[in-house]
Structure 1
Amino acid sequence: MDKIRVYQLLIGVFFAMTAVLYINCIPSYYETLVTQCIPDGCGLSVPALTLDPEGLSNKETAVLLVLVDCLFTAVFYASAAILLWKGPREPMGLTAALAMVAFGTSFPSLVMVGSPDASFALGWFHGVSAIGWISLSLFCLLFPDGRFVPSWTRYPLLLIVIVDLVNFFYGGNMWADLELSVYLQFAWFMSTTVLLIYAQIYRFRRMSTPVQRQQTKWVVYGVTVSFAGFIVISILFDPGIYNGQATSFIYLNAVLHLFLSAIPVTLTLAVLRRRLWNINPLVNRTLLYGALSVCVGLLYAGVVFYLGRLFESWNRFVISLIATGLVAAAFGPIKEWLQLRVNRLLKGRHDDPYSVLLELGSQLMQPLPPAEMLSAVARKVKEALRLPYAGIAIEVEGQETIIAESGDRREGLELNAFPIIYRGRTLGTLYAANRSSGETFSAEDHIFLEVLLRHAGPLVNNADMLQGMRKLAEDLQESREKLVLAREEERRRIRNNLHDELAPKLAALALNVATARKLVNKDPQTAGTMLDELRLDIRSTVEDIRSLVSDLRPPALDQLGLVGAIRARMEEMAKPANRIAGETGGRTLQFEIEAPVIPSLRAAVEVAAYRIITESMVNVVKHAEATRCKVRLSIEEENRLAVEITDNGIGPGIGEAGRSATGGIGLLSMRERAAEIGGECGIERHASGGTRIWAVLPLQG
Structure 2
Amino acid sequence: MLWAMRIAQLMVLSFSLLTAALYVSLIPQYYKMLVAKCIRQGCGNLVPAMPLPVNGFTLEQFALLFVFIDVLFTFVFYMTSAIVLLKGFREPMGLVAVVAMVAFGSTFPSLVMTASEGTVFAQHWFLGVSMLSWVSLSLFLLLFPNGKFVPRWSRYVFVLIVIVDVMTLVYEGQMWERFHIPALFQFLWYGLSTLILIYAQVYRFRYRARAAERQQTKWVVYGVSIAIVGFIGMSALFDPSLNNGTALTYVYLNAVLNASLTAIPITLMFAVLRQRLWNIDPLVKRTLVYGSLSVCIVLIYTVTVLYLSRVFQSQDHYVASLLATAIVAVAFAPLKQWLQRQINRLMKGRHDDPYAVLLELGNQLIQPQNPDAMLNAVVQTVKDALRIPYTAIYTGIGGQTTLVASAGSLLHEQHVLPIIHRGIELGTFHFATRSEGEVFTAEDNKFLDVLLRQAGPIVENWHMTQGMKLLAQDLQESREKLVLAREEERLYIRNNLHDDLAPRLAALALNAATAQIYVEKKPEVAIEMLADLRKVIRSTVDEIRTLVHDLRPPTLDELGLIGAIQERIALLSKPSALLAGEEGTEALDIRLHARGPLPTLPAAVEVAVYRIVTEALVNVVKHTKATTCTVRLEVSEIGQLQVEIRDNGAHVDPVSVNPFAGGKGGIGLVSMRERAAELGGHCTIDRPAGGGTRVYVVIPLS
Match for residue 634 of structure 1?
none
Match for residue 349 of structure 1?
350
Task: Please list the CA deviations of residues 20-68 of structure 1 after superposition, one character each: whole Å capped at 9, or x if unmatched.
Answer: 1110110111111111111011222221112112112111111111111
131-140 or 450-459: bigger deviation: 450-459
Paired with 2:471 and 2:272, the residues of 1 have a C-alpha distance of 59
* CA contact 1:287–1:342 (8 Å) conserved in 2: yes
Shift of 1:416: 4.5
Match for residue 413 of structure 1?
413
| Partner AA of 2:437 in structure 1 | G
Q: Point out where structure 2 has 5 or more consecutive residues left out of the alignment.
A: 493-499, 501-538, 551-702
- Secondary structure of 1:437's counterpart equals coil
| Partner AA of 2:455 in structure 1 | A
| Partner AA of 1:33 in structure 2 | L
Task: Please list the CA deviations of residues 398-417 of structure 1 after superposition, one character each: whole Å capped at 9, or x if unmatched.
Answer: 3332211111123x234242
Paired with 1:432 and 1:93, the residues of 2 have a C-alpha distance of 36
* CA contact 1:214–1:437 (8 Å) conserved in 2: no
- Secondary structure of 2:395's counterpart equals strand
| Partner AA of 1:23 in structure 2 | V
237-246 or 395-404: bigger deviation: 395-404
Shift of 1:475: 5.2
Shift of 1:357: 1.8
Match for residue 117 of structure 1?
118
Task: Please list the CA deviations of residues 493-524 of structure 1 after superposition, one character each: whole Å capped at 9, or x if unmatched.
Answer: 9xxxxxxxx9xxxxxxxxxxxxxxxxxxxxxx
- Secondary structure of 1:89's counterpart equals coil
Match for residue 53 of structure 1?
54
Shift of 1:431: 2.1
| Partner AA of 2:181 in structure 1 | L
Give yes or no for the alignment of 1:445 onto 2:444: yes
Match for residue 248 of structure 2?
247
- Secondary structure of 1:428's counterpart equals strand
Q: TM-score, normalised by structure 1?
A: 0.68
- Secondary structure of 1:151's counterpart equals coil
| Partner AA of 1:397 in structure 2 | G
Match for residue 312 of structure 2?
311
Match for residue 296 of structure 1?
297
Paired with 1:105 and 1:180, the residues of 2 have a C-alpha distance of 28
Paired with 2:292 and 2:456, the residues of 1 have a C-alpha distance of 41
* CA contact 1:414–1:437 (8 Å) conserved in 2: no
Give the direction of change, closer, same or farther, for the CA distance of 1:309–1:47 in structure 2 (3 Å limit).
Answer: farther
Paired with 2:363 and 2:72, the residues of 1 have a C-alpha distance of 58
Give the direction of change, closer, same or farther, for the CA distance of 1:26–1:425 in structure 2 (3 Å limit).
Answer: same
Task: Please list the CA deviations of residues 400-442 of structure 1 after superposition, one character each: whole Å capped at 9, or x if unmatched.
Answer: 32211111123x234242x323223222222232222333222
Task: Please list the CA deviations of residues 57-92 of structure 1 after superposition, one character each: whole Å capped at 9, or x if unmatched.
Answer: 111111111111111111111121122111122111
Match for residue 149 of structure 1?
150
| Partner AA of 1:456 in structure 2 | A
Match for residue 640 of structure 1?
none
Paired with 1:166 and 1:490, the residues of 2 have a C-alpha distance of 100
Match for residue 593 of structure 1?
none
Shift of 1:274: 0.7
- Secondary structure of 1:75's counterpart equals helix
Match for residue 589 of structure 2?
none
Please provide the CA RMSD for this pair: 3.7
* CA contact 2:414–2:430 (8 Å) conserved in 1: no
Give the direction of change, closer, same or farther, for the CA distance of 1:461–1:81 in structure 2 (3 Å limit).
Answer: same
Match for residue 37 of structure 1?
38
Give the direction of change, closer, same or farther, for the CA distance of 1:366–1:56 in structure 2 (3 Å limit).
Answer: same
* CA contact 2:27–2:67 (8 Å) conserved in 1: yes
Give the direction of change, closer, same or farther, for the CA distance of 1:47–1:310 in structure 2 (3 Å limit).
Answer: farther
Paired with 2:231 and 2:449, the residues of 1 have a C-alpha distance of 44
- Secondary structure of 1:105's counterpart equals helix
Task: Please list the CA deviations of residues 291-346 of structure 1 after superposition, one character each: whole Å capped at 9, or x if unmatched.
Answer: 01111111122122223333343523443333333222222121111111111111
Match for residue 363 of structure 1?
364
Shift of 1:473: 4.4
Shift of 1:279: 0.8
Give yes or no for the alignment of 1:466 onto 2:465: yes
Match for residue 203 of structure 2?
202
Match for residue 647 of structure 1?
none
47-56 or 16-25: bigger deviation: 47-56
* CA contact 1:210–1:438 (8 Å) conserved in 2: yes
Match for residue 512 of structure 1?
none
Give the direction of change, closer, same or farther, for the CA distance of 1:173–1:321 in structure 2 (3 Å limit).
Answer: farther
438-447 or 150-159: bigger deviation: 438-447
Shift of 1:213: 1.0
Task: Please list the CA deviations of residues 435-457 of structure 1 after superposition, one character each: whole Å capped at 9, or x if unmatched.
Answer: 22333222222222232223222
* CA contact 2:211–2:438 (8 Å) conserved in 1: no
Paired with 1:219 and 1:490, the residues of 2 have a C-alpha distance of 83
- Secondary structure of 1:402's counterpart equals strand
Shift of 1:348: 1.2
Match for residue 526 of structure 1?
none
Paired with 1:490 and 1:21, the residues of 2 have a C-alpha distance of 110
| Partner AA of 1:279 in structure 2 | I
Corresponding pairs, count: 522
What does 1:158-173 correspond to in 2, within 5 Å? 158-173=159-174
Match for residue 427 of structure 1?
426
Sequence identity, in percent? 55
201-210 or 112-121: bigger deviation: 112-121
- Secondary structure of 2:241's counterpart equals coil
| Partner AA of 2:87 in structure 1 | K
- Secondary structure of 1:2's counterpart equals helix
- Secondary structure of 1:243's counterpart equals coil
Paired with 1:486 and 1:283, the residues of 2 have a C-alpha distance of 74
Task: Please list the CA deviations of residues 521-556 of structure 1 after superposition, one character each: whole Å capped at 9, or x if unmatched.
Answer: xxxxxxxxxxxxxxxxxx9xx99xx9xxx9xxxxxx
* CA contact 1:416–1:434 (8 Å) conserved in 2: no
What does 1:6-405 correspond to in 2, within 5 Å? 6-117=7-118, 119-405=120-406
Give the direction of change, closer, same or farther, for the CA distance of 1:177–1:422 in structure 2 (3 Å limit).
Answer: same
Give the direction of change, closer, same or farther, for the CA distance of 1:130–1:464 in structure 2 (3 Å limit).
Answer: same
- Secondary structure of 1:420's counterpart equals strand
Paired with 1:489 and 1:128, the residues of 2 have a C-alpha distance of 99
- Secondary structure of 1:240's counterpart equals helix
Give yes or no for the alignment of 1:456 onto 2:446: no
Q: TM-score, normalised by structure 2?
A: 0.68
Paired with 1:23 and 1:445, the residues of 2 have a C-alpha distance of 52
Give the direction of change, closer, same or farther, for the CA distance of 1:476–1:151 in structure 2 (3 Å limit).
Answer: farther
Shift of 1:191: 0.3
What does 1:469-480 correspond to in 2, within 5 Å? 469-474=468-473
299-308 or 54-63: bigger deviation: 299-308
Paired with 1:195 and 1:299, the residues of 2 have a C-alpha distance of 35
Paired with 2:370 and 2:88, the residues of 1 have a C-alpha distance of 58
Paired with 1:409 and 1:485, the residues of 2 have a C-alpha distance of 48
Match for residue 657 of structure 1?
none
* CA contact 1:25–1:111 (8 Å) conserved in 2: yes
Match for residue 568 of structure 1?
none
Paired with 1:330 and 1:230, the residues of 2 have a C-alpha distance of 29
Task: Please list the CA deviations of residues 199-244 of structure 1 after superposition, one character each: whole Å capped at 9, or x if unmatched.
Answer: 1111111111111111111111111111111111111112221220
Match for residue 562 of structure 1?
none
- Secondary structure of 1:277's counterpart equals coil
- Secondary structure of 1:431's counterpart equals strand
* CA contact 1:349–1:385 (8 Å) conserved in 2: yes
| Partner AA of 2:163 in structure 1 | I
Give the direction of change, closer, same or farther, for the CA distance of 1:469–1:62 in structure 2 (3 Å limit).
Answer: same
Match for residue 591 of structure 2?
none
- Secondary structure of 1:66's counterpart equals helix
Shift of 1:4: 1.1
Shift of 1:151: 0.6
